[in-house]
A and B are shown apart, each in its own frame.
Chain A
Amino acid sequence: MHETEILLAVVVATLRAATPLMIAGFGELIAERSGVLNLGVEGMMLMGASVGFIGTVATGSPILGFVAAMLAGAALALVFGVLTLSLMANQVATGLALTIFGVGFSALVGVGWIGTPLQGIATDIWPGLSKASPMVQQLMLLDPVVWLAILLPFIAQRFIYRTRAGLILRAVGESHDVAHALGYSVLRIRYLAVLFGGAMSGLAGAYLSLAYTPMWSDNMVAGRGWIALALVVFSTWKPLWLAIGSLLFGFVTIAQFQAEALGLDVSPHLLAMLPYLATIVVLVLISRDATRLKLNAPAALGRPFHATA
């Protein structure tokens, strides 16, 4: 391959691998900014992956598939919200339960769809260019969801720091008592943030089963939900850093691809460890400065709110 072609291929593959992390991570970032720690990202992504896949195959429309996936993710997030927000259950335990349930239920829902072939959603959004060129074929892999993921950090940055809604969101996450005293409905804002997080997780999961792979198999999210959670900590709850982290991870995830390009013969199992090991390294680097983490974390993160007055 020509050098620019290899470079382009690596950039495209990195962007595609980063997309689900970026989208799910952004949803979780919003939920955590409102003060809710939802460890169920993995489970919600799995539900999105299976429901999105089935929806697309059944209706023939990827758009309907993505919508169904977002609704599925939000539905699971609603269960989480009822338990942790209305019933004040432990957020850590409930999030774990959500993931365990999501792993099982997505497998149950998707049982008849394993091995069903599906055309990816790569679309011809570069009209007028010759499809014969390998460069154009690479660019065509950048589907609309990837573009959404590229734009997302900038939208998020603006929303969180430059809009009134973003300010209220942060206020609820920093001190729910003060926000409540000011007359904001803490629970309603948190429900919205959690549901949004669920919908984004569902979208990210559906991206995996509809575009990235594209197919459905049990447990296919393979820990990306947990990596997204780690990335939110890594980003210190800042969207632009989340984007940088996701790209870094996208790059590590495609290590296998790079090893092949370089002609290295390494076991795929050993290469598959890399993103998980990288998560640990990144987590260590960011967590060692406990003060910085504490200053940036939403102060009410993980604390239940029960209005007494």
Chain B
Amino acid sequence: MRLSLEARAKPARIMVWASPLIAAVGSIIGVSILFAVLGRDPLAALNILFVAPLETIDGLAELGLKATPLLLCAIGIAVGCRAEVWNIGAEGQFTIGAICGGGVALAFGGNDSWWLLPVMLLAGIAGGMAWAAIPAFLKTRFNAHEILTTLMLTYVSIQLLGYLVHGPWKDPQGYSFPQTRQFEADALLPMLIEGTRLHIGVVFALASVPLGSILLGRTMLGFQIRTVGAAPAAARYAGFSRNRIVWVCLLLSGGMAGLAGICEVAGPDGQLTPVISPGYGFAAIIVAFLGRLNPIGILFSSALMALLYLGGEGLQVSMQLPIAVTGTIQGMLLFFLLAADVLINYRVRLKPSRAAAGATGHA
């Protein structure tokens, strides 16, 4: 007997939602093995990873804080992926958004101007959009693949941030640490819950869920985005401009990543440093796929991924495990999801092995 895959007549809808659960179970098993190999008690480690962060108000606030950039970046990425526009440079657009908004904060902070925060947020969005406009232009004008251009621009943006905080924007009173001065109080996002770090950015992130759903499901533009991705020939026949969709998707996801960036530095950080993100822009790709490229699904997957970040920090503190455990688990989760997704289009069948089939054929 051997296992074989048999194409389903049509995709199984139930598997679309069951496969993330299968992936989650698979990952938990994989992670337990990983912990055992690292010489830690798997059950205790799983408890720290998934349960402990949810037991306090502070933990929940931190969860919201970490889910905010993931949610904003992932919804933008997901809209793009629906149209087969692969923006994997959200990390770079995030960085440029933080630089642009942070620049406004450094230049105009401390005057108690009512317009400061709105202008910072708009600068962040505009920065992310401008950074994403480069790959959009190169794709539509020169056919250069956006996977590589968005990614290369991410490395450029990180170097640009490094240049600024080591050079012109360095805090003169910062004991030669590579960082800008602290933003003034009027350039910081208001807190939602006193005593925690949860700021108003989470509201923008939550608002993006219904907005994203409406865009994709209820508008002509969303229909065009989905058609360009699912049936490019049909989209061409219907007269939908692929170039226009490329622009829309990249500007949208770039702007959202830029907003995430400025919210991060005007929220918990309060200054620009060489490293402003633990890889949110890349993790958001996993979040988008885990959430089935669907805004509501992404709401849940971003919470799960935020929990992984939090739990990973917990493991670092209480079990002395390196923070790299988080990235390993994230990658593993995506592997299991991709493997489980095969069940959407195929069913697994037990078939007699080739030799046995041949024998019966002769008989």
Which residue numbers of A lie inside 8 Å of B, CB to CB?
Answer: 39, 43, 79, 82-83, 87-90, 92-94, 96-98, 100-108, 111, 218, 222-223, 226-227, 229-230, 233, 267, 269-270, 272-273, 276-277, 279-280, 283-284, 287-288, 290, 293, 306, 308
Contacts and interface: CB of A to CB of B under 8 A. Distances in A.
Contacts of A93: 289, 334, 338
Contacts of B212: none
Given A287-B143, A287-B144, A100 B163 contact: no
A104 B330 contact: yes
B286 A273 contact: no
Interface in B1-19: 5, 7
A277 B327 contact: no
Contact of B152 (A233, A279, A290): A279
Contacts of A227: 152
A87 B163 contact: no
A102 B328 CA distance: 8
B156 interface: yes
Interface of B: 5, 7, 86, 88, 138, 142-145, 147-149, 151-153, 155-156, 159-160, 162-163, 166-167, 279, 282-283, 285-286, 289, 322, 324-332, 334-335, 338-339, 341-342, 345-346
A103 B325 CA distance: 10
26 contacts: A83-B338, A87-B342, A89-B338, A93-B334, A93-B338, A94-B335, A96-B334, A97-B286, A100-B286, A101-B331, A104-B324, A104-B328, A105-B328, A106-B324, A107-B322, A108-B327, A226-B148, A267-B163, A267-B167, A272-B159, A276-B153, A276-B155, A280-B153, A284-B138, A288-B142, A288-B143
A46 B345 CA distance: 33
Contacts of B327: 100-101, 103-105, 107-108
Contact of A101 (B147, B149, B332): B332
A96 B285 contact: yes
Given A90-B338, A101-B335, A306-B5, A273 B145 contact: no
A273 B158 CA distance: 9
A237 B335 CA distance: 28
Contacts of A293: 143
A212 B312 CA distance: 32
B148 A230 contact: yes
Contact of B156 (A88, A104, A276): A276
Contacts of A111: 322, 324
A79 B334 CA distance: 12
Contacts of B283: 100
A269 B149 contact: no
Given A87-B339, A89-B338, A90-B338, A277 B156 contact: yes
- Which DSSP category, helix, strand, loop or mixed, fits chain A's interface? helix
A267 B161 CA distance: 12
A87 B42 CA distance: 29
B58 to A, nearest CB: 26
Nearest to A92: B86
B88 A277 contact: no
A106 to B, nearest CB: 8
Contacts, number: 145
Nearest to A94: B338
Nearest to B164: A269
Contact of B324 (A105, A229, A306): A105
Given A87-B342, A269-B159, A269-B160, A104 B282 contact: no
The 3 A-B residue pairs whose C-beta atoms are closest, nearest first, are A104-B327, A101-B331, A107-B324
A218 B323 CA distance: 11
B148 A101 contact: no
B88 A108 contact: no
Chain A CB within 10 A, most for which of B143, B325, B331, B334: B331
Nearest to A43: B331
Contacts of A288: 142-144
Given A230-B148, A276-B153, 18 more contacts: A83-B338, A87-B5, A88-B5, A93-B334, A96-B334, A97-B335, A100-B331, A103-B279, A103-B327, A104-B325, A222-B155, A223-B155, A269-B160, A270-B159, A273-B156, A279-B152, A280-B153, A288-B143
Nearest to B324: A107
Contacts of A103: 279, 282, 327, 331
A269 B163 contact: yes
Contacts of A284: 138, 142, 144
A83 B335 contact: yes
Nearest to B38: A108
A218 B166 contact: no
Given A222-B155, A226-B148, A97 B339 contact: no
A267 B322 CA distance: 32
Contact of B166 (A230, A267, A277): A267
A277 B148 CA distance: 11
Contacts of B144: 280, 283-284, 287-288
A104 B332 CA distance: 10
A229 B148 contact: yes
A253 to B, nearest CB: 12
B5 A226 contact: no
Nearest to B134: A280
A100 B334 contact: yes
Contacts of B339: 82-83, 87, 89
A287 B142 contact: yes
B147 A97 contact: no
Given A101-B328, A103-B327, A88 B342 contact: yes
A87 B23 CA distance: 14
